[in-house]
Amino acid sequence: MVRAIALGGALLLVTGGAVRAAEPEDGFDRAYAAYAQGSWDAAAEGFRGVLRQGVADARVEYNLAGAEYKRGRLGEAVLHYERALRLEPADPDTRGNLALVRSKLRDVLPGDAGDEGPLRWLRATQDRLGVTAQAIVALVAVWAAAILVVLGGSRSGGFTPGRSWLLTGAVLLAVVSGLSWRSTDSRLYGTARAVVLAPTVEALAGPGLENAAVFTLHEGATVEVRAERDGWMQVVLPTGASGWVGDRAAERI
C-alpha cells in the first residue's frame, strides 16, 4: 500500500511537473506555427495565452507584436514591441520593427526618431550590455575596491602605488558602471509610459467629459503617464503638454 502511494506520488510529481513545464513552450510552438501559416488571429491569441501563463519573454512579446501588426492593430503592435524592448533592449529586429510600425502611425511625437550622436551610441552600448550585466560589473568593482582597502589598510605601507592605482580604477569602474546601471534601469523601467490603443482619443483638460479637449491622440502614440484617477489617465507628451484620457483608450507598457 505504502509502495503504491509512493509510486503514485512520484508519478504525479513527474508528470505534473512535466506538463506544467511544457505548457507555455507548447503554446508558443503552436502560435508560431499559426504565424508561419499567416493565421494572424490564431497566432496573436496563442501568444497572448502564453503570456497569461506567467511568461515574461521577449520572443513572445515580439511575435505577438508582429501578429498584431499583421492584423492592422498598430497600437497593440507598438505596445508589445515596447514590452519586448524592456526585456531585450538591444534586439535589432525589435528596434527595426518598432521603427517601421512607428513610421505608419498618424501621430509623430518628438523622441520617436530616437537619439542622435554620442547619446545614441551610449544608449546602444548600455542596451547591449543589459541592466543585469552592468549591475554585476558595479558589484564586482565595489567588492574589489573594498578588498583593496582592506589589503592596504591592514598593514603599514599597504597602499603601494600599484595597489593605489588598482583602487582608483576599481572606484572609477564602480561609479561609472553604477551610474550607467541606474540610468539604464530608470530609462527602461523608471518612467511609466502608455500606448494609445483606441483609433482616436481626445485628451481632455481634466478627468471628466465636461472638460475641454486639449489635443487628440491616435492609435500607437506613446505617452508618459503622470497620474491615474477614477478610470482616467493623465498623459504627458514629450512637448510637455498634458491631458486626461480614459484608461481603456491606452495601456501601460
Q: Is 165 in the site for other proteins (CB under 8 A)?
A: no
Footprint of other proteins on residues 197-226 (CB under 8 A)?
A: 198-202, 204, 208-209, 212-213, 216
Give the list of residues 6+ apart from residue 239 with CB closer than 8 angstroms, or none: 109, 110
Name the phi and psi angles at 103, rounded to 5: -65, -15
- 47 or 222, CB closer to other proteins? 47
Give the C-alpha separation, 82 to 125, whole Å. 18
- Using the minimum distance from each CB to other proteins, give the nearer residue, 143 or 165: 143
Candidates 13, 14, 143, 168; binder of other proteins (CB under 8 A) is 143
Asked whether position 97 contacts other proteins by CB under 8 A, the answer is yes
82, 222 in Cβ contact below 8 A? yes
For the beta carbon of residue 200, count every other beta carbon within 10 angstroms: 11
Q: How far is the CB of 5 from other proteins (least distance, A)?
A: 31
Q: Which residues contact 224 (CB under 8 A, 6 or more apart)?
A: 191, 192, 193, 194, 235, 236, 237, 238
SS3 assignment, position 194: strand
Among 44, 46, 50, 126, binds other proteins (CB under 8 A): 50
CA atoms of 63 and 4, how far apart (whole Å): 45
Segment contacting other proteins by CB under 8 A, of 9-17, 50-58, 115-123, 233-241: 50-58
Q: How many residues comprise the chain? A: 253
| Chain positions contacting other proteins, by CB under 8 A | 21, 24-25, 28-29, 32, 35-36, 43, 50, 54-60, 62-63, 66-67, 69, 87, 93, 96-97, 100-101, 131-132, 134-136, 138-139, 142-143, 145-147, 149-151, 153-156, 158, 181, 185, 189, 198-202, 204, 208-209, 212-213, 216, 230-232, 245-246, 248-249
